[in-house]
Amino acid sequence: MKLILYTIILVSLFFTSNLSAQERNCATVDILDRQIQNNPSIIRNMEEIERQTQEFLRKNPKGLSQRNIITIPVVFHVVSDIAVPVQNISDAQIQSQIDVLNQDYRASNSDFSNTPAIFSGVAADVEIEFCLAKRDPNGNATTGINRKTSSKTYWGTDDSVKKSSLGGIDPWNASSYLNIWICRISQSNTNVTLGYAQFPGGSSATDGVVLDYRFTGTIGTAVSPFNKGRTATHEIGHWLNLKHIWGDASCGNDLVSDTPVHNAANSGCPAYPHLSTCSGTPVEMTMNYLDYTDDACMYMFTVGQKARMQAVLASGGARSGLSCSSACLAPGQSAACDAPTGLSFTSITSASATANWNAPPNAINYTLEYKPDFASTWTVITPVAGTSYNMTGLSAGQFYNFRVKTNCNGSSSCGYNLGAFATSTPPAPCPDNYESNNTSKAAKSLTVGTTLKAKILTATDVDWFKFANTKTNKNIKVSLTNLPANYDVKLYRGTTTQVGVSQNLGTTDEQIVYNNILSNTTYYVQVYGVGGAFNDFSCYDLLIQISGSNYRLSNNTDEDEQIEIVANEFLVFPSPATDEITVVMPFGHQKTGILSVFDVAGKLMSSGKVTGDIGLNTVTMDVSQYRAGLYLINFTTDEDTFSQKIIIAERR
């Protein structure tokens, strides 16, 4: 399947089962709306995680073969009704669940051999294992099982079971533990939620998996046909960034290249081969853990799914801390290959610095990496035999990030010792004659056609400038260049109406072209550091140009492509399109509405709820399954309706 970065992506997935009909059902849309309404930043978090995942997949399309299996510490929080003691499941039932996870994620489950020949080439050992935590967040001994009684019979899907203030149990540190809550989820006996999980990118206060006590493990209260522990296998797949195999849409996209296209979820135990009704009628992978079949009929992950899960556990991934958690070790027990300790920096000059560290037990040599703090690429030195290293060829007056890990016999430390230093003799400071201009009211006037130099001095500094168009010229070009850190720029008509933005990655130059300005109008420019980026040594350059002729748009092809924005104009591009379209909605205030696609006959093709903030809002839509022809894109709010026509071209 073609990989697509979605602007709007599911925050958490919830899975329901009807005990009478013995089928799984899903309540995703309502949960998605609730999560996004409560915390809209989740969307941005998940976009960043997906970018990191795609970069990992580009370098490791089949994942990594681990020299050391990743072991994830698990803590079970059992919350039971004091009047229904059967909800307080046994230690043995919990251990049976751990056993199933270790079999399923290592492809050692007995039914793995049932994998059809057509899928045997992609069936994967994920190389992830699970343990009951042996030490708690305070370093004290634990069984990995936390119990609490309550007067509540069922908990629903509002995450209240995860909050001690509501009678549940607060999670342990999500960067070191997989939190699993056991409770009765649903009140109904005919529409039962088996469990639910939170994707990477959500709040740490609710991170983890919730399982109904009747669908946990293989013994005790476990109820057929979901009594083989596969509900947890499925949910933890979501927790490790896997989508449903059918992509939660008819012939949808699960962002995995080696899973066949499914037309919908499967239930029960479909007879093999079960053909999809999607293009090409492929054989569906009904035995995949991310389908909705019964526990006895799901028994494999794929190589592509393995790679996605490894991406969030890899260095820089959203769950990388779990790879270095010591919670599987009893108090006082040391890991076999620890990271170095006592990191320090000496002999610092304008072009060199020496890093020093202490040797841990079992160290043979070391791998060290360093880079300027604004850079994305590390300089890697390995092997380093001693416990110090002199770095040369450094830039003067520059902050550097540094990390070092231990190499032992056949393994490496799962984590680094991290540090930072600054080379001496900083460059002559660039004068900033515009502070303080941190608000639009305090905006400093600039001269059109003259380059100014200014600085982002702190992580919270924002620079505002203003200029007036007193001529009949109608075209502006804003150029932000010579960036010492990751800065972005926005253009406003007045102080509130955003009409342009440029958000390239890193220190790439920024440019806004706006070919529709008004005469005798004051425009404002905002420059800011992304994620608190700043540099109090070096200036950026800002140039405003106004012309009677249209400026050409940049040919930038980065993900944050510069777009010509007209205030209050609803844009859809490209047209003609083949696989995906981008919808651009600039708003003067927050709006919530319905984004819909209709064909030329007026048939509704797709529809979804969208909430946009003040400024530029973009949504990427998959149209790869649409027939060639003319379509209408509508965005409807309580105030008005925006519409644009678009052509889907024939595909070759």
Beta bridge partners of 210: 181, 196
Residue 537: domain span: 444-547
SS3 state at 332: coil
Q: Single out the residue in 297, 323, 349 at which a domain terminates.
A: 323
The predicted pLDDT at position 527 comes to: 95
Are residues 393 and 500 both part of a single domain?
no
Catalytic pick from 47, 50, 127, 235?
A: 235
Q: Which of 39-43, 404-408, 504-508, 613-617 has the lowest mean pLDDT?
A: 613-617
Domain count, the chain: 4
Are residues 502 and 392 both part of a single domain?
no
Are residues 47 and 160 both part of a single domain?
yes
Say if residue 415's pLDDT is above 80. no
Are residues 160 and 301 both part of a single domain?
yes
pLDDT tens column, 547-565: 877 776 543 333 333 333 3
Contact 5, 620 (CB under 8 A): yes
Are residues 191 and 289 both part of a single domain?
yes
Looking up tokens 């992304």, which residue turns up?
530
Residue 594 in any domain: the answer is yes
Overall average pLDDT of the 540-545 stretch? 93
Looking up tokens 């060829």, which residue turns up?
393
Q: Which of 43-47, 74-78, 123-127, 282-286 has the lowest mean pLDDT?
A: 43-47
Q: How far apart are the C-alpha atoms of 404 and 419, rounded to whole Å? A: 9
Residue 498 in any domain: the answer is yes
Q: For 102-134, give the DSSP string.
A: HHHTTT-SGGGGG--GGGTTTEE---EEEEE-S
CATH number at residue 531: 2.60.120.380
Q: How far apart are the C-alpha atoms of 395 and 381, rounded to whole Å? A: 18
Are residues 381 and 306 both part of a single domain?
no
Give percent above pLDDT 70 in the chain: 87
Say if residue 99's pLDDT is above 90. yes
Overall average pLDDT of the 482-494 stretch? 91
Pairing relation of β-strands 629-636 and 641-648? antiparallel
Residue 130 in any domain: the answer is yes
The predicted pLDDT at position 261 comes to: 96
Residue 563 in any domain: the answer is no
Q: Which of 215-224, 435-444, 479-488 has the lowest mean pLDDT?
A: 435-444
Distant-in-sequence, close-in-space partners of 616: CB < 8 Å, separation ≥ 6: 498, 500, 501, 565, 584, 585, 586
Q: How far apart are the C-alpha atoms of 58 and 38, rounded to whole Å? A: 33
Tell me, yes or no, if 580 is annotated catalytic: no
* pLDDT interval class at 16 (50, 70, 90): very low
Are residues 417 and 512 both part of a single domain?
no
Residue 259 in any domain: the answer is yes
pLDDT tens column, 418-469: 788 888 865 566 777 788 888 888 999 999 889 999 999 888 899 999 998 8
The predicted pLDDT at position 335 comes to: 62
Overall average pLDDT of the 586-612 stretch? 80
What is the reported pTM? Answer: 0.56
